[in-house]
Amino acid sequence: MFVNENGKQRVYTDKDGHIMHDADMTNEMFTGGKHKKFWNSFPFFAIALVVFLWWGFSGLCFGWALSWIVLLTIPLYYSLVDAIYKRKADHFAFPVLAAMAYILMGYFNIFGGWTVGWVVFLTIPLYYWICSFFKNKND
């Protein structure tokens, strides 16, 4: 049972009859926690490590000089999973994505490379401003 207060769900009763407040609500009540556990426990770090080693030893596309960027996908993956399940875009590690974009723009000389690529860091506060805008709009 949900109690709505000014359009927000504030209180619920779980299947055992326990009354929980807004702060106690978890995604496990709604998803059973099975999908969340799977994606959070998925060994993405192992896949990233294998790709990192393969790319480095192969010497393709700058080899070791650029292959470490694969390791930056680890926080991106887990923060994306967290952002999706909590439905909070501000939980996504956008600064890591911006750093990856800057590095790739520099190595491949995309959009002016290192010279103009720093502008991508200006999107970080813009991203979080947009997140707060939509968060405040939903409140």
Between CA 102 and CA 83 the distance in angstroms is 23
What digits encode the pLDDT tens for the residues 98-122?
A: 999 999 999 999 999 999 999 999 9
Residue 7 has pLDDT above 90, yes or no: no
pLDDT digits (tens, 9 = 90+) for 15-40: 666 666 555 455 444 444 556 678 77
C-alpha 60/C-alpha 78 separation (Å) is 27
* Mean predicted confidence (pLDDT) in 2-8: 59
Given pLDDT bands bounded at 50, 70 and 90, which one contains residue 9? low
Flag whether pLDDT at 3 surpasses 60: no
At a CB cut-off of 8 Å and minimum separation 6, what does 4 contact?
10
Q: Virtual CA dihedral for 21, 23, 26, 29, nearest 10 degrees?
A: 0
Question: What is the C-alpha separation between 23 and 50, in angstroms, rounded?
Answer: 39
pTM of the model: 0.71
Length of the chain: 139
Give the three-class secondary structure for 105: helix
Decide if 50 contacts 74 (C-beta within 8 A): no
pLDDT, residue 50, reads: 96
Instruction: Output the pLDDT for position 52.
Output: 96
Distance CA 99, CA 89 (A): 18
